[in-house]
Amino acid sequence: MANSQGDPRVLFVMNLVLSTAFAALVIWGLAFIDMVTFGLQNVALLAGLLMVVTHLVTR
C-alpha cells in the first residue's frame, strides 16, 4: 500500500482543483495590484499551465 501510485483519475481531479484554486488566488492578487484583469480565461490559462508543470515535475 505504501508504494501505491494511487488512482490516476483521483490525482487528476486533485491536481485540477488545487491548480485552479491557486491560479484564482494568484490572478486575484495580480488583479488587486492592477497587473492583470481577473477573468475566467486568465484563471483557466494559469491553471492549465500549473497542471502541466505539476504533472511533469511529479512524473
pTM: 0.84
Name the DSSP letter for residue 41: H
Cα-atom radius of gyration of the chain, to the nearest Å?
Answer: 14
Banded model confidence at residue 5, pLDDT cuts 50, 70, 90: confident
Concatenated DSSP letters of 8-40: HHHHHHHHHHHHHHHHHHHHHHHHHTTSS---H
Q: Is 19 left (phi over 0), alpha (psi -120 to 50) or beta?
A: alpha
CA–CA gap between residue 53 and residue 34 (Å, rounded): 26
State the total domains in the chain. Answer: 1
Residue 19 within any structural domain of the chain: yes
Which of residues 58 and 33 earns the better pLDDT score? Answer: 33
Structural domain of residue 20, as residue ranges?
Answer: 8-58
**Mean pLDDT, range 39-51, rounded to an integer:** 96
Q: Residue 11 corresponds to which amino acid?
A: L
Residue 1 within any structural domain of the chain: no
